[in-house]
Amino acid sequence: MQSEYQYFARVTAGLEQLVWQDIERRCDARLIGFGHRRIDFAYARTPAALLDLRGVDDIYVHVARLTGLDHTRASLARLTEKIAPMDLLPALEVCAAVRPISAAPTYRVTASHLGRRNYSRYDVESAVATALVGNLPWRFVLNDAEEQEPELDLRVLLEDDWALLGLRLGALPLHRRAYKVASRPGSLKPPVAYCMGLLAALAPGDVVLDPGCGAGTILVEAAALAPSGVVCGGDIDASALEAAQANLQAAGISAVLTELSAGFDPRRPEIASNAEQPIALLYQGDATDLRLADRTIDAVLSNLPWGKQVPAETDLAPLYRGILKTIERVLAPGGRAVLLTDQAEPMLAALEICPALHLASALQISLYGRHPTMYVLHTSGE
Domain with residue 55: its CATH number is 3.30.2130.30
Assign residue 231 the CATH number of its domain: 3.40.50.150
Which residues, 6+ apart, have CB-to-CB distance to 313 below 8 Å? none
Q: Are 164 and 255 in a shared domain?
A: no
Reading phi first (left if > 0) and then psi (alpha if -120 to 50, else beta), residue 367 is in beta
Pairwise CA distance, residues 192 & 40, whole Å? 19
Pairwise CA distance, residues 119 & 79, whole Å? 12
Number of domain units in the chain: 2
Residue type, 292: L
Percent of the chain with pLDDT over 70: 93
Distance of alpha carbon 242 from the chain centroid:
22
pLDDT digits 0-9 by tens, 190-211: 999 999 999 999 999 999 999 9
Classify residue 185: in a domain, yes or no: no
Classify residue 176: in a domain, yes or no: no
Q: Are 151 and 204 in a shared domain?
A: no
CB 79 within 8 A of CB 67: no
CB 192 within 8 A of CB 302: no
Q: Are 124 and 201 in a shared domain?
A: no
Residues of the chain with pLDDT under 50: 1, 309-311
Predicted pLDDT at 1: 42
Q: Are 109 and 206 in a shared domain?
A: no
Classify residue 99: in a domain, yes or no: yes
Domain of 205 in residue numbering reads as 190-378
pLDDT digits 0-9 by tens, 216-243: 999 999 999 998 889 999 999 999 999 9
Burial class from Cβ neighbours inside 10 Å (0-12, 13-18, 19+) for residue 350 reads buried
pTM: predicted TM-score of the whole model, two decimal places: 0.93
CB 340 within 8 A of CB 309: no
Classify residue 184: in a domain, yes or no: no
